[in-house]
Structures are given as C-alpha cells and as structure tokens.
Amino acid sequence: MTHAHGSHRHGHDHDQAEILDLDAEVLAEHLASIVAWLPVPAAPRAIVDLGSGTGAGTLALLARFPDARVTAVDASPAHLRRLAEKAGGGVRIVEADLDHDWPDLGAPELVWASASLHHMADPDATLRRVHDLLPPGGLFALVELDGFPRFLPPDAPADRPGLEDRAHAASERHHAEHVPHRGADWGPRLAAAGFTVEAERTVTVNIEKAASASVGRYALSSLRRLRTTVEDALSPDDLAALDRLLDPDDPDGLLRRDDLSVRTERRVWAARRNRP
Ligand SMILES: C[S@@+](CC[C@H](N)C(=O)[O-])C[C@H]1O[C@@H](n2cnc3c(N)ncnc32)[C@H](O)[C@@H]1O
C-alpha cells in the first residue's frame, strides 16, 4: 500500500454512511424508544427529518407513524440514495444544504433532527427556521450525542491500555475547534428561538459484551474514521496499536474480539412551538 493516507481519506466518505447504517442497526431499540416517548397528542400527517443521513430517524418515525408523509432532507446525495433504497419510495427526499435557503418542506406538525443540528453553520438560525416551519403547538424533536461511542474495555488493547480514551481526547481537541456546537446545551437556545421545552431526557446506551458481527463492524468503521482526525496527534506506539485494531486480519483486531461493548449517550429535547 503506497498511499496509506489517501486510502484512509478514500474510506472516510464510505465510512460515514456505513457508520450511520450500523448505528441505526445496533441502536434500533433505543431509537424506537425515543420515538415512542415523543409527546405527540395525535399522529402527525407530515414530518420533516432534518439532516436525515441514511434514514435512521426517518424509518423509525415511519414505523411509529405509518400514515405520515415524511420528508427527509440532507446535503449528501450519497446518503439520500441509501435512504431511498431502504425506504422504497414511501419518503419524499429533498437534497438541500440547510445552511442556505430552505426549499419548500411542506407543513409538518413534527420536525426531527438527530445528530445534525451541531453541523449547521448557525444552529440558532436553524432553530428559528424550524420554529417558523412548524404551526403553533407543533413539536420539534432534537436528538444530539454527547460524544462518540466507546467500544473497548479500559484495559485494552493489552499492549496500549487506554488507547481509545487517548484517541478520543485528541479527537475532542480537534472537534472543539472544528465542530464547536457539538455537546451544547440546547435547552436555552430552543427557548430563545420561541420553543417551550416540554420534556428532556438522556438515553444511556450500554450494550455489554456485544459479540454480534454488526458491533465489530460498527467499532471498526467508527475507529477507522476517528483515525483520520487523530493520526497526527497520537504517539507512534498508539497509532501502531490502533492500526492493529483496525486490521481485519489481526487476531486482536476489532473484527475478531469478543470483548467489545457499545457505550454512548443521546440527549433528547421535545420542544413545542409556543402558541400565540
Ligand atoms: C451525524 S449525521 C446524522 C444522520 C441522521 N440524522 C442519523 O441520526 O443517523 C449528520 C447528517 O447531517 C447532514 N448535514 C450536515 N450539515 C448539513 C447541512 N448544512 N445541510 C443539510 N444536511 C447537513 C450530513 O450530511 C449528515 O447526513
């Protein structure tokens, strides 16, 4: 392999879609429980999924509200293609960069945004637009991650214990610079945009000793992507240990381990557009 760096870049785009799909698969029950928890007095006829990615939320929403018309909006054509394959025509798909002018998104009673708001250039402006899109009394369901999922036990890998934590610490420094809105407290910002936060919850995911093939692939895709942001910050020994974990043929690699678990947290806000 002469272009190690290039090959990692090449894997990057593919990995994001792969991670989103695996995330949806591994966390399906948690996602369904978030959707089931939403305080919706009557089944919405129209729903918008903002920054839908490959459709984790879109499909979970459709499972609870099968008669609703769901509009999935995202800037990534590749993600939307994947969503279209999975949804099989039952979803209106709109390709748009939500940092620019918004296309016509209909008249939804429920707007959902999962792990997408923090990507927006001006999330407070996005919140005001969501407010204006909803009717008075309409619901905005906001889901955000506090951090990226963890997979390895703290004493792994045997030769470099704590590697995952060190890699995440390096990644946090990177993200603090490049994605400053991640992990924000959205409650006051929702209020400033004209919403009342009706309910808020933290969903703690801890899938222990998960030995399923999907968890191994989820860990592999996630840590492969993490490598691209931390490769210059890790010590050579840590980077070498990370590469062994990422090697599908290594006997202690992620795909072959039986000690992985999935540990992550989602925060959810159910925000109602104020009535006049
Ligand atoms: C972490 S993914 C979350 C996807 C999905 N909501 C989920 O929960 O699996 C963030 C998504 O937001 C999309 N996104 C980021 N910035 C955007 C923008 N300015 N306009 C539209 N979509 C955007 C990305 O393309 C990506 O699909």
| Model confidence pLDDT, tens digit, residues 180-219 | 777 789 999 999 999 999 999 999 999 877 667 789 999 9
Both structure tokens of 121: 């250039």
Q: Please give the distance, rounded to the nearest whole angstrom, from the Cα atom of residue 137 to the centre of ligand 1.
A: 26
Could you tell me if residue 53 is left (phi over 0), alpha (psi between -120 and 50 degrees) or otherwise beta? left
Tell me the C-alpha distance between 174 and 117, whole Å.
Answer: 18
Candidate of 93, 97, 116 to mutate for ligand 1, largest count of ligand atoms within 8 Å of Cβ = 116
4 vs 152, residue with greater confidence: 152
pLDDT of 30 over the 50 cut? yes
Q: Which of 100-109, 238-247, 252-261 has the lowest mean pLDDT?
A: 252-261
In a domain, 199, yes or no: yes
Cis amide linkage into residue 41, ω under 30° from 0: no
The domain tally of the chain equals 1
Sheet holding 110-114, edge to edge: 91-95, 69-74, 46-50, 110-114, 139-145, 262-273, 195-207
What is the per-residue pLDDT for 14? 67
Question: Could you tell me if the CB of 75 is within 6 A of ligand 1?
Answer: yes
- What is the share, in percent, of the chain residues with pLDDT greater than 90? 76
Question: Could you tell me if the CB of 163 is within 6 A of ligand 1?
Answer: no
Q: What is the domain-level CATH number for residue 23?
A: 3.40.50.150
- What is the share, in percent, of the chain residues with pLDDT greater than 70? 94
Q: Please give the distance, rounded to the nearest whole angstrom, from the Cα atom of residue 257 to the centre of ligand 1.
A: 31
pLDDT of 2 over the 70 cut? no
Candidate of 31, 112, 119, 140 to mutate for ligand 1, largest count of ligand atoms within 8 Å of Cβ = 119
What is the per-residue pLDDT for 13? 54
In a domain, 218, yes or no: no
In a domain, 175, yes or no: no
Q: Please give the distance, rounded to the nearest whole angstrom, from the Cα atom of residue 267 to the centre of ligand 1.
A: 17
In a domain, 95, yes or no: yes
Question: Could you tell me if the CB of 114 is within 6 A of ligand 1?
Answer: yes
In a domain, 43, yes or no: yes
Question: Could you tell me if the CB of 57 is within 6 A of ligand 1?
Answer: yes
In a domain, 75, yes or no: yes
Domain span holding position 62: 6-155+180-207+261-273
Average pLDDT, whole number, for the chain? 90
pTM metric for this prediction:
0.90
In a domain, 123, yes or no: yes
Write the single-letter amino acid at 128. Answer: R
In a domain, 138, yes or no: yes
Question: Could you tell me if the CB of 51 is within 6 A of ligand 1?
Answer: yes
Summarised one tens digit per residue, pLDDT across range 172-190 is 887 777 777 777 899 999 9
Summarised one tens digit per residue, pLDDT across range 97-124 is 999 999 999 999 999 999 999 999 999 9
